[in-house]
Amino acid sequence: MNKPVRNIFLILIALAALIQLYPVNRKNPPVTQDIGAPPTIAAILHTSCYDCHSNETRWPFYSYIAPASWLVAADVKRGRKFMNFSRWDTYSKGMQDTLRSRCYALAAANLMPLPNYLLIHRDARLDSVKLEVLRVWGGTKE
């Protein structure tokens, strides 16, 4: 390796090390409640949605390595803000109904789980049987 190339290489390694210092919030807030869905629904939600929509996130190894960690943490933060199954009781009855039907609508449109998540979590994919279960649960006639 000639000198300029080696220097660029060393700088890149230093930068990769440096960005690891930027703090990432991977804290799971205490789980004080849960949506308490029927077992069939709960199983689907746990496998496909809980990593971003609950306080029970399973943080994968790459969530400890920047810059992947930043992307994972951002999805979890945003996902929890929109809908958190660990805070279900804080939503009004009307909001709960809306969220349930949105769950089906977004899943049926392949918008949830997020496509980038599905690339890595193949078991989170929703087949037609699971979608049908979500449809009935969501109470939609679509």
E strands, the chain, are: none
Closest approach of Cβ 77 to ligand HEC, in Å? 8
Of the two residues 7 and 110, which places its CB atom closer to ligand HEC in the complex?
110
Positive or negative, the CA dihedral 68, 71, 77, 79 is: negative
Of the two residues 35 and 103, which places its CB atom closer to ligand HEC in the complex?
103
Binding residues for ligand HEC, per CB under 6 A?
Answer: 48-49, 51-53, 75, 78-79, 82-83, 99, 102-103, 106-107, 112-114, 117
Nearest CA to 121 among 35, 15, 47?
A: 47
Closest approach of Cβ 18 to ligand HEC, in Å? 27
Beta carbons within 8 Å of 64's beta carbon, 6+ residues apart: 26
Of the two residues 79 and 87, which places its CB atom closer to ligand HEC in the complex?
79
How far apart are the C-alpha atoms of 51 and 46, rounded to whole Å? 8
Q: At 37, list the tokens.
A: 């869905």
Of the two residues 24 and 103, which places its CB atom closer to ligand HEC in the complex?
103
Closest approach of Cβ 117 to ligand HEC, in Å? 4
